[in-house]
């Protein structure tokens, strides 16, 4: 069965740039997977930042951007802030009404 | 303002059933797909089930297929998840989400004897 893959962790300096990726164990991610990105801090409900590959939701800072990089979906944080320290999950539409989350990437800002 | 609220969690014994509900307001309910997502203690997010606006297509994760049934009542702006044959590994916070964009605060379901 195909699994959605994400890097387990990333560290970024304040003001720096980091790109998280979301891939598949079999195949390539394209816009047909309608990739979304959610941010979650401990004890809180998830917050969706990006939907449909690159649509930034209302109220989301423009330092967050979504794209397709090669054969993966990507979330780039440009000018990271301390508040961005969270776990980031990608979610992909696998077809036939089925969605799948990746395992999450823990981002540390230091 | 979009609001999504999931009351109805609790403690249930293995093998028993529980029905979760999700109430919504602030948007045209029958214009959106809705989803259930869960998170086991200390684990990541897991998509459980999703339903399109007219209930014409409902998808389930393999881990719950055949045991859970998702439904919606557009007249009541409400979403439901009937969970049967519950297992300890179903213990999680269950979130209701509008179009995977707006999320409720979640409700804890604990399956234990």
Closest partner residue to A45 (CB to CB) among B62, B95, B99 is B95
Distance CA B105, CA A9 (A): 25
Between vectors from CA B92 to CA B48 and to CA B64, what angle results, nearest 5°?
35
Distance CA B76, CA B6 (A): 14
A89 and chain B in contact, CB less than 8 A: yes
Percent pLDDT > 90 in chain B is 95
* Whether residue B102 has pLDDT greater than 80: yes
Cβ-defined contact of B44 to A98 (cutoff 8 Å): no
Cβ-defined contact of B100 to A101 (cutoff 8 Å): no
A69 and chain B in contact, CB less than 8 A: no
Give the residue on B whose Cα is nearest the Cα of A36.
B100
pLDDT in tens, B56-69: 999 999 999 999 99
Q: What is the pLDDT of residue A44?
A: 96
DSSP lists the bridge partners of residue B108 as: B93
CB contact set of B89 (below 8 Å; sequence gap of 6+): B40, B63, B111
pLDDT in tens, A5-48: 999 999 999 999 999 999 999 999 999 999 999 999 999 999 99
pLDDT in tens, A57-78: 999 999 999 999 999 999 999 9
* Whether residue B74 has pLDDT greater than 90: yes
Neighbours of B40 (CB within 10 A): 13
Cβ-defined contact of B104 to A99 (cutoff 8 Å): no
Chain B contact set for A89 (CB, 8 A): 44-45
Give the residue on A whose Cα is nearest the Cα of B95.
A45
Distance CA A13, CA A17 (A): 8
Give the residue on B whose Cα is nearest the Cα of A8.
B44
Q: What is the pLDDT of residue B8?
A: 76
pLDDT in tens, B6-48: 987 899 999 999 999 999 999 999 999 999 999 999 999 999 9
Classify residue B89 by burial, with Cβ atoms within 10 Å: 0-12, 13-18, 19+: exposed
């Amino acid at each position: 069965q195909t699994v959605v893959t994400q890097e387990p962790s990333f560290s970024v300096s304040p003001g720096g740039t980091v790109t998280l990726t979301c891939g598949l164990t079999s195949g390539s991610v394209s816009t047909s997977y309608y990739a979304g990105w959610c941010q979650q801090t401990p004890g809180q409900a998830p917050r969706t930042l990006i939907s449909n590959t690159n649509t930034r939701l209302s109220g989301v800072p423009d330092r967050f951007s979504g794209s397709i990089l090669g054969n993966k979906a990507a979330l780039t944080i440009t000018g990271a802030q301390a508040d961005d320290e969270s776990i980031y999950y990608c979610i992909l539409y696998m077809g036939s009404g089925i969605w799948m989350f990746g395992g999450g990437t823990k981002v540390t800002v230091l | 303002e979009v609001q999504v609220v999931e009351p109805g969690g609790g403690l249930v014994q293995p093998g028993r059933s529980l029905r979760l509900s999700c109430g919504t307001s602030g948007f045209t309910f029958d214009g959106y797909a809705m989803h259930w997502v869960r998170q086991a203690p200390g684990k990541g997010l897991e998509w459980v089930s999703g339903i399109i606006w007219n209930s014409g297509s409902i998808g389930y994760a393999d881990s719950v297929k055949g045991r859970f049934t998702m439904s919606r009542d557009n007249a009541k702006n409400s979403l439901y998840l009937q969970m049967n044959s519950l297992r300890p590994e179903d213990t999680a916070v269950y979130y209701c989400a509008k179009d995977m964009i707006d999320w409720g605060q979640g409700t804890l379901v604990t399956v234990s004897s």
